[in-house]
Structure formats: structure tokens, C-alpha cells
Amino acid sequence: MKLIPVLTEKSLEQAKAGSYTFWVDSVLTKREIKEAIEKVFKVNVTGVKTINYKSRRERDFKGKIKQILSRRKAIVRLQEKEKIDLFEVKRKVKRNESTNEHTSEKIRKITRKNDSSPSRRKTQKKT
């Protein structure tokens, strides 16, 4: 039994509201999906919606025909105040102003050294 999380922008927005999206085996019923999610993530599932995708044929970038297999997507709703940590988005940490000042000082020192190099002096005298 496979439970593959769908991590797209839309599914991450739905996760904030309490709905989590997974790719599941196409033979699983809603009850089996509910039991599997509860067992794996130790949460209480209140509802399961499923979407079946048909198999289809597509051409790849070389023009070859490839078969896309059929699959099933499950959208699982949890009880209030419960969440699955797998879907949490980590925020980027902003740099402190002190680190920016430190790096800007290093850049200034490097440019000063380059300005005093002999090849730099020759070009400056010519102009």
C-alpha cells in the first residue's frame, strides 16, 4: 500500500485548511485509505474524497509515445487542530543586519585591494 504525498502549491494551501492530498493505490477503498492514514500519521480522519485518473498516452519531447498509468488521488480531511508535519512549509530565515554589515565590510576590503593593484593603477593613469 502506497501513500505518496502531493506537494504542490494548491495542496499546501489546502493543508493549511486541514485537507491533505495523497496519491494512493487505485484498488483501495475510502475506508482503507482512512485506516491507513490514521495508522501511519496517528491522526483522526473525518472524511475522504477520491479522484480517479484514467490511463492515457502522451508524446515525450523526442516524439515517442508513452503510456501514463491510471492512478487515484485521495483528499483527506482531519479533525480540527490536527495536522500532518509532512505538509508544513518552513519559512526562510532573514539575515541579521550585523551579518550584512560584516559581509559588506569584507567586500569593501577586497575592492580596496583590487584598486591598489599595479594593473589597476596603469589603467587609471591613462584616462
pLDDT in tens, the chain (127 residues): 789 999 999 999 999 999 999 999 999 999 999 999 999 999 999 999 999 999 999 999 999 999 999 999 999 999 988 888 888 777 665 655 555 555 556 556 555 655 655 555 555 555 5
How confident is the model at residue 35, as a pLDDT?
Answer: 95
Alpha-carbon distance of 44 to 59, in angstroms, equals 42
How confident is the model at residue 106, as a pLDDT?
Answer: 55
User: Domains in the chain and their CATH numbers?
Assistant: 3-87 (3.30.70.330)
C-beta atoms surrounding 84 within 10 Å: 18
Q: What Cα–Cα distance (Å) separates residue 124 from each residue in 5, 58, 112, 113?
A: 61, 62, 14, 15
How confident is the model at residue 60, as a pLDDT?
Answer: 93
3-state secondary structure string across 53-95: ECCEEEECCCCCEEEECCEEEEEEEECCCCCCHHHCCCCCCCC
Q: At 45, is the secondary structure helix, strand, or coil?
A: strand
DSSP 16: H
How confident is the model at residue 120, as a pLDDT?
Answer: 53
How confident is the model at residue 55, as a pLDDT?
Answer: 94
Tell me the one-letter amino acid at 45.
V
How confident is the model at residue 115, as a pLDDT?
Answer: 60
